[in-house]
Amino acid sequence: MDSILVKGGGAVSGQIPIAGAKNAALTLMPVTLLSDEPLTLTNTPRLSDIKTMTTLLESLGAEVTSLQNGKVVAMSTHGTINTTAHYDIVRKMRASNLVLGPLLAREGHAVVSLPGGCAIGARPMDIHTDGLAKMGAQIDLKDGYLHAKADGGKLKGAVIDFPFASVGATENIMMAATLAKGTTVINNAAREPEIVDLATCLRSMGAHIDGDGTSTITIEGVERLGGATHPVVTDRIELGTYMLAPVIAGGEVECLGGTLALVGAFAEKLDAAGVNISETKNGLKVSLRGDRPKAVDVTTEPFPGFPTDLQAQMMAMLCFADGTSVLEEKIFENRFMHAPELVRMGANIDVQGGVARVTGVDSLKGAPVMATDLRASVSLILAGLAAQGETLVNRVYHLDRGYEHVEEKLAAIGANVQRVQGA
């Protein structure tokens, strides 16, 4: 199993190209199941999760071709569709549940295994299935599989009130509603940029969608969808991650393709911490105003609030901050598993339930650490950039699910980071 070796102590400088969004691409790929015409995605990130979704879609009857060294994914689902998504594939990735809505919409029935993914707390499917049930689907859980069937073979429009703004459920219902009979209204819908990106792609295929980016989305069903070529939106989580590199290590970095609109709440916290952020014609330029960042308090919230997927990276930065910061995690339980690993490096962190108090220290010391999930992986690498000595981050298969060529991108701006091949 591979590891990442980080030798700390040097400032970083240069440009980092930001990839297309993992969470957007994994949502856009199942859209191919809604049409018998080709769907091509450009600006696709080159990640292991993309390969997993490719395997899943191929098992359902889609043709998927990777072009331009993985940056373009061409898909077509024009033949016979297999409506069973098997556990062996689905267990590897939470986003696999996003085939449920499209299969139900096009074929009227589906059998989908309950999904897997990072161990960052329970993320139940109830909100997905309750919404589909309001659209006329009968859904039963048998032996770990969701058995779904649309009443009369076709979903029907409905008014769906989410108890909370679930990104995945919003995406599943949006896709299902495009081919449903009548009009579907989603109240308390998620507002993330990935939702807007999905709506933009669906509209280019002929879907009738209004309100994306707000808490109420309206979808008027159509008989069929056509094909499209669609560029995947920039990954705001990768953007935020690399924005922290010069804050932690020192120096100045330009994140190519980044915009403040993608990271508004995050950028506001960095500004409060003493970070310079300026928009350029190519992206965002970032540097630290003083010798150390200032302590700031952070509470994770649904978009447009501070993203939970940047909480671990922010904690790594606050380990070096002047003062004590309070981080409150309100999206996922069990999402402070990186804290004990940072403590191994000398961080001063006290976790009580969903709240972590981080008191900044003058320096961290490199140590062997264990990655517990995707975002924890990169937080430990970031911490290692400014730690004394060597930090060896183990179990980085998590990292490869969400960051393409992270060691190459960091090395390009002067960081001493390399992959150590496992046995």
CB 260: neighbour CB atoms within 10 A? 13
What's the maximum distance between 2 C-alpha atoms anywhere in the chain?
66
Look at residues 225, 227, 320, 228 and name the one whose alpha carbon lies nearest to residue 275. Answer: 320
Is 331 flagged in the annotation as binding? yes
Is 22 flagged in the annotation as binding? yes
Amino acid 377 reads S
Give one DSSP letter per residue of 163-189, joined into a string. SS--HHHHHHHHHHHHTSBSEEEEET-
- Which entry of 118, 201, 255, 319 is annotated as an active-site residue? 118
Q: Are 236 and 263 in contact (CB under 8 A)?
A: yes
- DSSP alpha helix (H) spans, 150-280: 167-178, 193-204, 236-249, 264-272
Look at residues 385, 365, 307, 379 and name the one whose alpha carbon lies nearest to residue 336. Answer: 379
Tokens found for residue 130: 């309750």
Q: Does residue 118 carry a catalytic annotation? A: yes
Q: Are 315 and 356 in contact (CB under 8 A)?
A: yes
Distance (Å, rounded) from C-alpha 177 to C-alpha 21?
A: 24
Distance (Å, rounded) from C-alpha 302 to C-alpha 315?
A: 18
Is 23 flagged in the annotation as binding? yes
Give one DSSP letter per residue of 25-85, joined into a string. HHHHGGGGGG-SS-EEEES----HHHHHHHHHHHHTT-EEEEEGGGTEEEEE--S----EE
Look at residues 221, 205, 237, 212 and name the one whose alpha carbon lies nearest to residue 311. Answer: 237
Distance (Å, rounded) from C-alpha 53 to C-alpha 55?
A: 5
Distance (Å, rounded) from C-alpha 308 to C-alpha 314?
A: 10
CA distances from 16 to 13, 240, 285, 363, 379 (A): 9, 12, 10, 25, 17
Is 375 flagged in the annotation as binding? no
Distance (Å, rounded) from C-alpha 233 to C-alpha 20?
A: 6
Is 92 flagged in the annotation as binding? no
| Binding site feature residues for UDP-N-acetyl-alpha-D-glucosamine | 94, 309, 331
| Binding site feature residues | 22-23, 94, 309, 331
Task: Give the catalytic positions in this structure.
Answer: 118
| Binding site feature residues for phosphoenolpyruvate | 22-23
